[in-house]
Structure 1
Amino acid sequence: MTGPTEAYERYRATEFRRLLAAARRSLERNGGEVKGSIGLANPTTAERNAIIGITGTYRSADVRRITIPLSALEQSVRNVTGMSLRDVLERIGPKLRFRADERTTLDQARQRILAEGEASPLHAEHAWYRRWLADLASDGTITALINKKDTRLFSQAVRVLEYLYSRPSDAPPIMLPALADATTGDTKALNPGRGSLPTLVLRALAMARGIPLEKGAEARRELWDTFDVIVDDLASRVLVLNLPATGQGLGHWLTDAARYGTPFHVTLHQLITLPIAVDLPTVYVCENPAVLRRAAGELGASSPPLICAEGRPSTAFHRLVRLIVEAGGTLRYHGDFDWPGIDMTNQLRARYRAEPWRMSTADYLSAVRVDSDHVQLSGKAQDTAWEPGLAEAMKRENRAVYEEAVADVLLADWKGPAGARTARNAALHLGR
């Protein structure tokens, strides 16, 4: 005698495959209820014969579509196997998914998460937090966390944000592993590449600062740093020349280096652990270290104070220039005449009110005439609000001019009266 376990195996045969798939869809759509009809278009001979065997009704070979009540299939399956249609389908696999029930369960889980987020004190206190929560709900992030069974990450993100906003304003910076340990119990939980948690938190922090969340390790380190969270305080550094400062340790080293016109690399670790004050009316900023190297070699201690962005500004760079600007200093910036260089100029203008220096239309056209590299511009064109004609000239000429190609012009400025005055002003700080 064939038992139910063996009998249901017959429904794995090819002639039942499409019929059972249609039955599965019907049951899932109707919450497991056996009702309505199912059908097959263009049935094969084997499928037609199988349906004739189920219903006991002959179907002509020229019939293009066969429809049968789902209840007829249910009864036939019970007669053969002693099992319900649902049981057979789940034995064959996979388990049935009742969409309405799943939607209800998902909606309930979403409401629980949103209620948890709204219960945070940050919800009543900060509009950016409310926007963050609304965005997570509308863009599918919360649904994805539920489906992946990762809702704990949302709870941890809220704890991280609450921790950062509950710290006293005069609290010392905190290392990223220490923050992760205090809020999640895992020192590596906020490390880059550790799943969704770092991104959830950084999305909120970017909203709190009113800026887009940029890609790239340095941009994310800088965002952490604006909340006094240090990711890597030794790897991040900034190159300076003749930047005297006050303060124990680092302040003395910078002042001594300026006395001898010696370039000096400042690490983020030094800026954090050895606080300094920089009280200079004007500080020049260049993009390429070759320019700073020439200033050190040709001008030495008479060069005006100079900071080098070294391509993309580091977290240490931003922390240092904030000190300068917050003390009343003005940044004068020169970079490459290419679209990334113009973009950096715009960023420094927006963030620190930096003044473009030697970045005029005339400077660009003069450099194009003497530059022999003929490198074409690439990337997205940028506006030059401080001098709209510059962007138009760059589009017309379609030529990039890199900073090291105009270093003679920059050094001539520093050797002239303006540069001498700036150097003398900086020298006044050496004896402090």
Structure 2
Amino acid sequence: MTASSTPSDPLAPYRGSAYQRLLAAARRSLERSGGNLDATIGITAPHEDERQAIIGITGQYRDASVKRLTVSLAAMDAAMRRGCGLGLQTVLERIHARALDDRPAERATEAAARQQVIGIARSGAVAAEPWFAQWLDEISSDGTLTKLVRARDEQLLHQAVRVLDTLHRRTPGEPPIPIPSLATDTTGYPKTLNQGTLPTLVLRALALRYELPRPKTAEERRNLWDMADVVVDDLASHVLVLNLPSEGDGLGRWLSDAAHHGMPFRVMLYQLITMPITPITTDPVFVCENPAVLRRAAAHLGRHAAPLICTEGRPATAFHRLANAVTAAGSTLHYHGDFDHAGVAMTIAASERHAATPWRMTHEDYLRGLTRTEDRHLLTKVPGVTPWDPTLAQVMAEHRLAVYEEAVTDDLLVDLAHRNILPN
């Protein structure tokens, strides 16, 4: 005799091995259907005591050779009401010591919560952006939103939307925003964007905004924040400079000294923020993407090279701040990038953000570069438009090959060697 099975226990007949699999199957069925008794359950390879139990429930003989026995939930409910005065659901809840789940009701509640969260997200200022709609579709279809709702963490999505709204409202030329300030302004706490689900959500959206893969490394995450003018680490955001004499204490003097000697100089965002400069050159300022171009300019032209800024890939916040200083001082920017989808996109962005003129980025330059490219690199994505030279997009789509700056550096050096003379 046990505490769970006493002579006065009306459920004693149902606690033994004969009913264990039957009750487990009944529970699964009732939870799936929300308590519907119309279904039938079955037992495969039934034991003798299970066969006898089902015969007792149905009142019908079942041969011992039968491989699978079935019984309706309605029959089980009726048999239990006769046997102990309790319905099947009550028997299950008492024996298992927990209430039955109502999966249909849970799904309906979850769906309503999802729609409410999505509705709030779509009311933001950024909702009209295609990349934002794609982000919502992705997190809705891959289970991310469902996990947030089930964990009752919907506020993380609301906070992510507030962060994206804040970044969307920023205008070109605004000072970069430190990530603790962005976190405080949007969530009330300075460290919420450092790690965890919230920054992951935001960075997924930013990756779509800038047409990049989801970031996997700390450097990729930092670069994405940089592209949105969010300063994660003002020591890590930097730009490479050659021959850009400037006014200003500290950094301005260092840049002028470096220009006097024709030496490359790496400028950190921290320096640009704490020691503002005013470039004093009257020459056009050229911009390249690959540091190999700047290195060759320094080696072959030295102090006689035209002012040159190198983004070292995708422009970081440090580049944008320096570019703003150049244009504010009255100089013009002339931008060259790789002939691939990313390079074209960055050229367009520089044109829109800094009024930069594309530099040797015509279809003739592309075709000439093709003749000098030894390694063939297929374009993984063809640029859709090249506003400064519509023929360029057509020619790139025809050849479907990338041309990187290393292949056309000789042409760039010709322009850099003739100060005050712009290329055609």
> How many Å apart are 1:139 and its aligned residue?
5.6
Q: Secondary structure at the match of 2:306?
A: coil
Aligned to 1:428: none
Contact 2:23 2:92 in 1 (8 A): yes
Task: Give me the whole-angstrom Cα distance separating, in 1, the residues matched to 2:51 and 2:234.
Answer: 73
Aligned to 2:125: 127
2:100 to 96, 115, 122: 96
> How many Å apart are 1:266 and its aligned residue?
0.7
In the alignment, structure 2 segments of 5+ residues that lack a partner are none
Bigger drift between 317-326 and 218-227 goes to 218-227
Alignment-mate amino acid for residue 256 of structure 1: D
Alignment-mate amino acid for residue 51 of structure 1: I
Alignment-mate amino acid for residue 319 of structure 2: F
Aligned to 1:376: 377
Superposition pairs of residues 148-167 of structure 1, within 5 angstroms: 148-154=151-157, 156-157=159-160
Aligned to 1:245: 246
The yes-or-no answer on 1:362 pairing with 2:364 is: yes
Alignment-mate amino acid for residue 10 of structure 1: G
> How many Å apart are 1:190 and its aligned residue?
0.8
Write out per-residue CA displacement over residues 352-388 of structure 1, whole angstroms, 9 at most, x where no aligned residue: 44333223333333343344x3333242222462334
Aligned to 1:297: 299
Aligned to 1:405: 407
Question: Residues 310 and 277 of structure 1: is their aligned pair in 2 closer, same or farther, counting only changes over 3 Å?
Answer: same
Contact 1:214 1:220 in 2 (8 A): no
Aligned to 2:314: 312
Task: Give me the whole-angstrom Cα distance separating, in 1, the residues matched to 2:229 and 2:312.
Answer: 23
Task: Give me the whole-angstrom Cα distance separating, in 1, the residues matched to 2:389 and 2:377.
Answer: 21
The yes-or-no answer on 1:73 pairing with 2:54 is: no
Alignment-mate amino acid for residue 409 of structure 2: A
The yes-or-no answer on 1:232 pairing with 2:233 is: yes
Aligned to 1:426: none
> What is the TM-score normalised by the length of structure 1?
0.72
Alignment-mate amino acid for residue 382 of structure 1: P
Task: Give me the whole-angstrom Cα distance separating, in 2, the residues matched to 1:128 and 1:182.
Answer: 17
> How many Å apart are 1:55 and its aligned residue?
2.0
> How many Å apart are 1:308 and its aligned residue?
0.8
Write out per-residue CA displacement over residues 23-82 of structure 1, whole angstroms, 9 at most, x where no aligned residue: 32553356446x435244988686655421222223568999976553431354467778
Question: Residues 171 and 20 of structure 1: is their aligned pair in 2 closer, same or farther, counting only changes over 3 Å?
Answer: same
Contact 2:241 2:310 in 1 (8 A): yes
Task: Give me the whole-angstrom Cα distance separating, in 2, the residues matched to 1:172 and 1:383.
Answer: 31
Task: Give me the whole-angstrom Cα distance separating, in 2, the residues matched to 1:338 and 1:112.
Answer: 41
Superposition pairs of residues 25-64 of structure 1, within 5 angstroms: 25-28=28-31, 31-32=34-35, 35-40=37-42, 49-59=52-62
> What is the TM-score normalised by the length of structure 2?
0.73
> How many Å apart are 1:149 and its aligned residue?
2.7
Alignment-mate amino acid for residue 127 of structure 1: A
Bigger drift between 22-31 and 170-179 goes to 170-179
Question: Residues 63 and 388 of structure 1: is their aligned pair in 2 closer, same or farther, counting only changes over 3 Å?
Answer: same
Task: Give me the whole-angstrom Cα distance separating, in 2, the residues matched to 1:401 and 1:227.
Answer: 27
Task: Give me the whole-angstrom Cα distance separating, in 1, the residues matched to 2:115 and 2:401.
Answer: 55
Question: Residues 170 and 316 of structure 1: is their aligned pair in 2 closer, same or farther, counting only changes over 3 Å?
Answer: closer
In the alignment, structure 1 segments of 5+ residues that lack a partner are 424-432
Task: Give me the whole-angstrom Cα distance separating, in 2, the residues matched to 1:374 and 1:69.
Answer: 71
Q: Secondary structure at the match of 1:238?
A: strand
Question: Residues 177 and 343 of structure 1: is their aligned pair in 2 closer, same or farther, counting only changes over 3 Å?
Answer: closer
Task: Give me the whole-angstrom Cα distance separating, in 2, the residues matched to 1:8 and 1:281.
Answer: 93
Question: Residues 408 and 200 of structure 1: is their aligned pair in 2 closer, same or farther, counting only changes over 3 Å?
Answer: closer
How many residue pairs were aligned?
404
Task: Give me the whole-angstrom Cα distance separating, in 2, the residues matched to 1:401 and 1:165.
Answer: 33
Q: Secondary structure at the match of 1:359?
A: coil
Contact 1:7 1:81 in 2 (8 A): no
Alignment-mate amino acid for residue 189 of structure 1: T
Task: Give me the whole-angstrom Cα distance separating, in 2, the residues matched to 1:245 and 1:82.
Answer: 93
Task: Give me the whole-angstrom Cα distance separating, in 2, the residues matched to 1:357 and 1:170.
Answer: 22
Task: Give me the whole-angstrom Cα distance separating, in 1, the residues matched to 2:410 and 2:169.
Answer: 51
Superposition pairs of residues 203-282 of structure 1, within 5 angstroms: 215-216=214-215, 221=222, 224=225, 229-278=230-279, 282=284
Aligned to 1:175: 178
Alignment-mate amino acid for residue 96 of structure 1: L
Contact 2:283 2:420 in 1 (8 A): no
Bigger drift between 296-305 and 23-32 goes to 23-32
Question: Residues 313 and 62 of structure 1: is their aligned pair in 2 closer, same or farther, counting only changes over 3 Å?
Answer: same
Aligned to 2:420: 421
RMSD (Å) for aligned C-alpha atoms: 4.6
Question: Residues 361 and 202 of structure 1: is their aligned pair in 2 closer, same or farther, counting only changes over 3 Å?
Answer: closer
Write out per-residue CA displacement over residues 121-157 of structure 1, whole angstroms, 9 at most, x where no aligned residue: x96xx63269879985996365432202323434655
Task: Give me the whole-angstrom Cα distance separating, in 2, the residues matched to 1:202 and 1:48.
Answer: 58
Contact 1:333 1:355 in 2 (8 A): yes
Task: Give me the whole-angstrom Cα distance separating, in 1, the residues matched to 2:166 and 2:390.
Answer: 45
Alignment-mate amino acid for residue 27 of structure 2: R
Write out per-residue CA displacement over residues 249-275 of structure 1, whole angstroms, 9 at most, x where no aligned residue: 322322232232221101111122222
> How many Å apart are 1:317 and its aligned residue?
1.9
Write out per-residue CA displacement over residues 319-346 of structure 1, whole angstroms, 9 at most, x where no aligned residue: 3224434655432222334454344434
Q: Secondary structure at the match of 1:285?
A: strand
Bigger drift between 246-255 and 22-31 goes to 22-31
